């Protein structure tokens, strides 16, 4: 699975004029299931994100995790993280998981964060969404479950 993580002061996602998910201080997590991903990949990525030390401690160093600060997460599905831009001008998305697998793993990933005690809200899978955020830092980090054993 792939994720683009943004440390935020606040974030929300809107579908058809209605806010469907939001968070205060914490993370906006754009996530994409890739072909071949499974629940193990989702658990691994969720655990890494929950423990990622990107929040300031009392000395102003990025030394605290989402778990440490008691922050929330807004998880938004984004299959475009699978974009292959190596040739031509139009990205390809053939490495993204099939929609039914993508939805299942997206929901599983969110549940995995919740199981660690993180207040987690979601966008709406497959919907046209408007995402608003106030990036804190800014801090934006790319993660892929395949990058680490």
Catalytic residues: 78-80
H helix intervals, the chain: 39-51, 66-69, 99-115
Q: 82 Cβ partners below 8 Å, 6+ apart?
A: 2, 32, 34, 93, 95, 96
Q: 22 Cβ partners below 8 Å, 6+ apart?
A: 10, 11, 12, 13, 74, 121
- How many Å apart are CA 49 and CA 53, to the nearest integer? 9
């Amino acid at each position: 699975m792939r994720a683009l993580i943004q440390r935020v002061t606040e974030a929300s996602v809107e579908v058809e004029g209605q806010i469907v998910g939001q968070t205060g201080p914490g993370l906006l997590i754009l996530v994409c299931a890739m072909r071949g991903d499974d629940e193990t990949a989702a658990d691994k990525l969720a655990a890494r994100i929950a423990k990622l030390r990107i929040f300031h401690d009392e000395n102003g160093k990025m030394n605290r995790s989402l778990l440490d600060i008691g922050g929330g997460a807004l998880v938004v599905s984004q299959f475009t993280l699978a974009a292959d831009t190596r040739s031509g001008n139009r990205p390809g998305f053939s490495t993204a998981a099939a929609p039914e697998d993508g939805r299942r793993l997206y929901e599983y990933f969110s549940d995995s964060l919740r199981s660690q005690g993180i207040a987690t809200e979601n966008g709406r899978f497959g919907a046209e969404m408007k995402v608003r955020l106030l990036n804190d830092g800014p801090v934006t980090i790319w993660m892929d479950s395949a990058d680490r054993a």
